[in-house]
């Protein structure tokens, strides 16, 4: 079952819960992150991409409470060589233009991602 | 500006609002639809894919209130030859296993999609 074995792959998206976004807005931002991570990993990290793509493409959406946390997780992911994508909203609606809304990390092994984001709550 | 000119492309995702899903669950389902539509269109509808991918990848999340509506919009999209992806949840959490949660349509011209889904409300 995707996401249950430590060798399975998943993609996590960390979303700022301190911004006032509707559920539709959040979904669009998470979709931006997922599409970016998928294409980036297909190009540069085919082993993780293929294992993820062929086994259900598990996606997990987690919450953070500040922009600062997104930058911290991004720095950790980059240091470990894991694909990631920080999303800046065009800001036409709901929130300030240029707001950073979420961060996609992966696809990568569940065991690796859980060491980084395992303490975060589901959104 | 992506999504404002009738020749611009967008991807719409229609989400069932009658299911009791958290905002994180909704976001993951929408991300499934967006990733599926993106890869499918890259393979089979490169003109729309490239125009969309190179111009901000606009994504709009809309609401429907039943499974029946998703099938109806899917039939219309397929009749018009537009890429679409119906998402069935693995159902490990929150909702019944096998529930159909959302439908991605596109990327396609804004003018074409607005004729099909223009009456739907944002989620």
Tell me if A75 is assigned to some domain. Answer: yes
Each residue's pLDDT tens digit, A79-107: 999 999 999 987 767 788 889 999 999 99
- The pTM (predicted TM-score) of the whole model is 0.95
Kindly state whether B15 is in contact with chain A, defined as any CB-CB distance less than 8 angstroms.
yes
Q: Which of residues 48-107 of A touch B (CB under 8 A)?
A: 56-57, 59-63, 90, 92
Q: What is the pLDDT of residue B42?
A: 97
- Distance CA(B66)–CA(B56), nearest Å, equals 30
What are the chain B neighbours of A61 within 8 Å (beta carbons)?
A: 24-25, 27-28, 31
Q: How far is B64 from chain A (nearest CA, A)?
A: 12
| Domain assignment of residue A1, yes or no | no
Structural domain includes residue B95: yes
Report if residue B1 sits inside a domain: no
How many domains are there within chain B? 1
| Residue from A47, A119, A63, A117 nearest B28 by CA | A63
Digitized pLDDT (tens) for each residue of chain B, 123 residues in all: 444 677 899 999 999 999 989 999 999 999 999 999 999 999 999 999 999 999 999 999 999 999 999 999 999 999 999 999 999 987 767 788 889 999 999 999 999 999 999 999 999
Residue B28 CA: distances (Å) to CA of A60, A81, B4, B40: 6, 24, 26, 18
Q: Which residues pair with B10 in a beta bridge?
A: B108
CATH of the domain at B52: 3.40.1490.10
Indicate whether A39 belongs to any domain. Answer: yes
A35-60 per-position pLDDT tens digit: 999 999 999 999 999 999 999 999 99
Domain region containing B104: 9-117
Please report whether residue A37 resides in a domain.
yes
Q: In this structure, what are the phi and psi dihedrals at residue B112, rounded to the nearest 5 degrees?
A: -70, -50
pLDDT at position B5: 78
More confident residue, B93 or A28: A28
Asked whether residue B104 is assigned to any structural domain, the reply reads yes
d(Cα B49, Cα B109) in Å, to the nearest integer? 10
Shortest CA gap B97–chain A (Å): 14
Residue B2 in any domain: the answer is no
């Amino acid at each position: 079952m995707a996401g249950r074995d430590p060798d399975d792959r998943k993609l996590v998206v960390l979303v700022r819960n301190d911004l006032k976004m509707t559920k539709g807005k959040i979904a669009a931002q998470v979709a931006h992150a997922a599409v970016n991570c998928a294409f980036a990993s297909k190009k540069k990290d085919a082993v993780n991409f293929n294992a993820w793509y062929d086994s259900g493409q598990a996606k997990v959406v987690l919450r953070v409470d500040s922009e600062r946390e997104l930058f911290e997780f991004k720095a950790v992911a980059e240091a470990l060589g894991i694909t990631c994508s920080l999303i800046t909203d065009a800001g036409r609606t709901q929130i300030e233009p240029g707001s950073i809304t979420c961060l996609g990390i992966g696809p990568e092994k569940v065991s690796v991602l859980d060491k980084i984001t395992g303490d975060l709550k589901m959104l």
